[in-house]
Amino acid sequence: MALKTMEQKNIVYRRVTPPQKDCGFPLPLTDETMVQRKEKVLSRMRLSGLDCLVIYDDVEHGNNFMYLTGFFTRFEEALLILHADGTAFLLLGNENLNKGEKSRLKASPLHVSLFSLPNQPQRTEKGLTELLREAGIVPGKKTGLVGWKLFTSTAEGATHTFDLPSFMVDALREITGGSAFLYNATSLFVGAEGVRTTNNANEIAHYEYGAALASDCMLDAMDKLEEGVTELELGDALRRQGQHTSVVTIAASGPRFVKANMFPTQNQVKLGDPISLTVGYAGGSSSRAGYAVHCREELPQNCGDYLEKAAIPYYRAYVSWLEHIRIGMTGGILFDEIEAVLPRSAYHWSLCPGHLVAEEEWLCSPIYENSQELLRSGMIFQIDIIPSLPGYRGVCAESTVVLADEALKTELGQQYPQLYAKMQNRVRYLREELEIELSEDVLPMCSTVGYLRPYLLNKEYALAMEANSKARLENREAT
């Protein structure tokens, strides 16, 4: 049966049973997955004609490195050098040299104290150029450099643009014979055919933990939200279990970035304040934005129509995203669907309406204007649409989903039956409680997908599709 168009559907603000917190425990990446990752990269190297990859790492930009090694370097920079025959070297500083033996990828460690923090002991008998030669960098070989940034601007030449520190690039140029032998190879990892853009069942189970943890934290923070609660208390609800966050944690009430500060303060929630909440871990983030009010009458002056002007149009686009996304469609088609439902000319969103996620909060996105990139099974997405209406503060229900074909669903069900059962419960919640005709290709990575309280102090009501069943509606009103 064909889906109704969004114009035919009615979005209402009604009593909604909140989703349940359902985060489990971290699941490790298996040895089989790590071998697959290496083989995927080597295969792409062969297709690209590369003799060697030089993969950069630091604490903020270490996820392509981590994809193969299983860790990123705290405090310091590092390089992973992978040759087409599978031989690998790890160039590590003082405080990470001992991690070489822990690497999930078998690699020979080389001590490069130049990558260490200032004023630490420095080795003097070998410089970076000599150590790179020991790692197999030689003249005349086609060498790919992998940073973290996929350069997509048509105004810049991406092939020979590098985001590694210049002292590293200079040393590589000196050895290889110049820029003619160096190529930006970040697209092997991210981008249209990047190895990191799709995930197997084990990787999805591994990343689901972070997406669900962020979601559970968001539910706790929203439930804690009351007049007089401080941003610090809300921020405390968002950080959990000692996990490394993938995005700046936001717990803001009222004006943002006062004196350039980005973090929670002792500022207290006041009636009518705009609220912003965000937390993210490897695998996904959760964001919510709305007002600290119970009802329309408590909204700030001139914002009484916030629901009709901002929240409901945003939610209509969000639901359309969930209902229309399909494996095999191009990102451009989904972009056009969101543009039709939430025109940029009126709602002033400017980024991609959805992007891929992994260890980092934003990996890359196949969803952009005129995109011919195909949406594929195993892609993990953030539903990230950011409208901006003058006179109104934000509205947001960013959450994480994965696209899965029948083969991948079968693998998840067989390998991780408890996880798959959780995902099916989330599907039922979206379809039965929120009345969203969820695409068959979507599996929610957390329980709060589709759950939006625009009036954040009213914890019983949320936006949803109008109930199709009169009996269900009456039951909700009775409870």
Residue 243 near residue 213, CB atoms below 8 Å: yes
User: Which amino acid, residue 453?
Assistant: R
pLDDT digits (tens, 9 = 90+) for 284-324: 999 999 999 999 999 999 999 999 999 999 999 999 999 99
- Banded pLDDT at 475 (limits 50, 70, 90): very low
**Number of Cβ atoms within 10 Å of the Cβ of 34:** 19
Phi/psi at 287 (5° precision): -135, 145
Q: What is the CATH number of domain 31-188?
A: 3.40.350.10
CA atoms of 460 and 368, how far apart (whole Å): 36
Distance of alpha carbon 271 from alpha carbon 303, whole angstroms:
14
Look over the chain and give the mean of its residue pLDDT values, rounded to a whole number. 94
Token pair of 221, please? 């923070």
Q: Is 191 left (phi over 0), alpha (psi -120 to 50) or beta?
A: left
Residue 410's H or E segment, with its range, is: helix 406-415
Whether pLDDT at 178 is above 80: yes
The CATH number, out of the four listed (2.10.70.10, 3.90.1150.10, 3.90.230.10, 2.30.130.10), of the domain defined by the range 6-16+198-478 = 3.90.230.10
pTM of the model: 0.94
Q: What is the average pLDDT across 136-152?
A: 94
- Phi and psi at residue 275, in whole multiples of 5°? -120, 135
pLDDT, tens digit, for every residue of 51-94?
999 999 999 999 999 999 999 998 899 999 999 999 999 999 99
Q: Distance between alpha carbon 253 and the CA centroid of its chain, in Å? A: 24
- The string of DSSP codes covering 159-203 is TT---S-HHHHHHHHHHHTSGGGEEE-GGGTSSTT-TTSS--HHH
* CB-count exposure of residue 471 (10 Å: 0-12, 13-18, 19+): exposed
Delimit the domains of the chain by residue range. Answer: 6-16+198-478, 31-188
Query: Quick one: pLDDT at residue 476?
Result: 44
Q: What is the pLDDT of residues 14-59, one digit of tens each?
A: 999 999 999 999 999 999 999 999 999 999 999 999 999 999 999 9
- Alpha-carbon span 28 to 468, nearest angstrom: 42
Q: Let me know: does 194 contact 364? Beta carbons within 8 Å.
A: yes
